[in-house]
Structure 1
Amino acid sequence: MKFTIIAALAGATLVAAGPADAKGCLKGAAVGGVGGHLAGHHAVLGAAAGCAIGHHRAAKAAKTQAAARR
């Protein structure tokens, strides 16, 4: 029951959010999810943190590449 409520809220949030630039998020979420699972069954928390870190690193790399082109 708890999982169904969380899944419904997550789905509604994704639909309401609209399009987003998720570069780095998927790879970071996968790595973070596995790491969180291995570190004490906290896969969702690890995936969220991995997504944030992956997106940050991708944005930083894009900014560095843009500066190098100038």
Structure 2
Amino acid sequence: MKHPILTAAVLALGVAALAGPAEAKGCLKGAVVGGAAGSMAGHGKAGAAAGCVIGHHEANKKDKAGGQNAQPAPAK
């Protein structure tokens, strides 16, 4: 494959388009980074897929941590 980074980016955009905006949070960025790292090892597509999963997981983890730091509503 002559353009592994381009392939990873196209794959990431396709995954993001199919998953929908609520489920793709963190996936696109993770897929691009994972695809670039994976292409250096000869596994660009696998890297993009793993990056998408990790990016999505990290985004969800940040959302949950943000919700826990919020102050509770005052009692009436």
Larger Rg: 2
Q: Between the two proteins, what is the percent identity of the paired residues?
A: 55
The 5-angstrom pairing of residues 55-66 of structure 1 reads 55-66=56-67
How many Å separate the matches in 2 of 1:36 and 1:26?
15
What RMSD over aligned residues (CA atoms) do the two structures have, in Å? Answer: 2.2
Matched, 1:22 2:24: yes
How many Å separate the matches in 1 of 2:23 and 2:55?
12
* Aligned twin of 1:49: 50
The answer to which structure has the higher helix fraction is 1
Return the TM-score normalized by structure 2. 0.64
Q: Gapped runs of 5+ residues in structure 1?
A: 1-6
* Aligned twin of 2:41: 39
Number of corresponding residues = 56
Q: Gapped runs of 5+ residues in structure 2?
A: 1-10, 72-76
Return the TM-score normalized by structure 1. 0.69
